Amino acid sequence: MAEKRPRPEDQEAGVHERALFQCADLILPWLDSAELAATSSTCKTLNHICRSITASRFSDAARGFEPLPIPFVNAVDHHPYAYFLYTPAQAHGSDLRDRQAWGSTRTDSARHERLDAWVGDACGCECERCDGDSGCPCSDLDSAELARECGPSCWCSVECGNRVTQGGVSVRLKIVRDRRKGWGLCADERIGRGQFVCEYTGELLTTEEARRRQQRYDQLASGGRFSCALLVVREHLPSGKACMRMNIDATVMGNVSRFINHSCDGGNLSTVIVRSSGALLPRLCFFASRDIQKDEELTFSYGEIRLRSKGLQCFCDSPDCFGILPSENT
């Protein structure tokens, strides 16, 4: 039987489809969730690619920036994931981006490049021989809320035991959807008391800009369906006076800690201000304040460090619940 030859017009259509596929795989990961949904309905090929991007997005909110994937889990409604820009470290003015590829088939090794560059800046300190087990001259835990780690001015490597908060999120976590609170961060394995969980990263703002944004976020939140993640951290002198204020906004750009919900009983995480030798700015890190079981939600008290003009209804369900989320004016 004679072999059936493809018609020229079919061949041409095949070439177009392959070209479309290649371009789409490069471009579509740059779209946000609404744009991706709109593109998905245009034709079968794009629908197929958009679906694989969506699957990749909900399988890892950290998009390869952390040592372990952090999936979204939703058994309550149709939202597969929350769209935001990921930053594994504090973002300063020049780091700010409008777009970031998320969900492409290419792997992302950006986190490891960043850490290597950071440690490679060593200019010397006394702790070149620290090994973590026998302690480190740079280590100086002043209080439960302030810790010191090796940093850019130390000779030690990323393996140093006094850099526990610098390797990214290395406990298994997942982001679980709740009908009333929206997304929340949960343990996906048992976490021991005192273990490092994650850093709170986002855009570092001036106090003036933080106040301006908070006003806007409060307006948006009063219309419902908007959740902001602007955290104000104050470091206090022994006299009780605030001596340092950091405004970290993870609403648009942050890491998985932007999903940590509030609990009026203080939750199971404690916040620690970590200073690293040679680093200009301190970082805010979360540690387990008690043993945490697999599937338990991770929470902390937004307390006084949250700046809001109006309190939203609180659903923490703790016996101590005040009924509204903490705010500076409530």
In the complex, least distance from residue 178 CB atom to ligand SAM, rounded to whole angstroms: 7
Question: Are the C-beta atoms of residues 309 and 214 closer than 8 Å to each other?
Answer: yes
Q: Which of 138, 191, 229, 284 binds ligand SAM (CB under 6 A)?
A: 229
Q: Given the complex with ligand SAM, which of 161 and 184 has the nearer CB atom?
A: 184
Contacts of 118 (CB under 8 A, 6+ apart): 152, 166
Q: Which of 262, 274, 275, 286 binds ligand SAM (CB under 6 A)?
A: 262
Tokens of 45: 């090929």
Q: Does 83 bind ligand SAM (CB under 6 A)?
A: no
If one counts every other C-beta atom within 10 angstroms of the C-beta of residue 58, the result is: 17
Q: Does 269 bind ligand SAM (CB under 6 A)?
A: no
Question: For residues 93-112, which are near ligand SAM according to CB under 6 A?
Answer: none
**Shortest CA distance to 53 belongs to which of 90, 87, 16, 80?**
80
In the complex, least distance from residue 86 CB atom to ligand SAM, rounded to whole angstroms: 14
If one counts every other C-beta atom within 10 angstroms of the C-beta of residue 77, the result is: 8
Q: Does 228 bind ligand SAM (CB under 6 A)?
A: yes
Q: Does 258 bind ligand SAM (CB under 6 A)?
A: yes
Q: Does 182 bind ligand SAM (CB under 6 A)?
A: yes
Tokens of 304: 């006084």
Amino acid residing at 276: S
Candidate ranges 11-19, 55-63, 191-199, 255-263; the one touching ligand SAM (CB under 6 A) = 255-263
Q: Given the complex with ligand SAM, which of 295 and 320 has the nearer CB atom?
A: 320
Please list the alpha-helical segments (H only) found in 28-170.
33-40, 44-59, 110-120
In the complex, least distance from residue 83 CB atom to ligand SAM, rounded to whole angstroms: 11
In the complex, least distance from residue 299 CB atom to ligand SAM, rounded to whole angstroms: 7
Q: Does 312 bind ligand SAM (CB under 6 A)?
A: yes
Tokens of 176: 């679980």
In the complex, least distance from residue 112 CB atom to ligand SAM, rounded to whole angstroms: 27
**Residue 208 DSSP SS3:** helix
Please list the alpha-helical segments (H only) found in 246-292.
none
Q: Does 31 bind ligand SAM (CB under 6 A)?
A: no
Q: Given the complex with ligand SAM, which of 82 and 91 has the nearer CB atom?
A: 82
Q: Does 227 bind ligand SAM (CB under 6 A)?
A: yes
Question: Are the C-beta atoms of residues 40 and 143 closer than 8 Å to each other?
Answer: no
The residue sitting closest to ligand SAM, measured at its beta carbon, is 182
Q: Which of 61, 252, 314, 326 binds ligand SAM (CB under 6 A)?
A: 314
Question: Are the C-beta atoms of residues 290 and 193 closer than 8 Å to each other?
Answer: yes
Residue 242 φ then ψ, to 5°? -70, 135
Contacts of 39 (CB under 8 A, 6+ apart): 28, 31, 46, 50
Helix (H) or strand (E) holding 133: none
In the complex, least distance from residue 169 CB atom to ligand SAM, rounded to whole angstroms: 16
Q: Does 183 bind ligand SAM (CB under 6 A)?
A: yes
In the complex, least distance from residue 229 CB atom to ligand SAM, rounded to whole angstroms: 4
Q: Angle 160-298-243 (CA atoms, 0-180°, nearest 5)? A: 65
Q: Given the complex with ligand SAM, which of 132 and 182 has the nearer CB atom?
A: 182
**Residue numbers of the site for ligand SAM (CB under 6 A)?**
82, 181-184, 227-229, 258-259, 261-262, 312, 314-316, 325
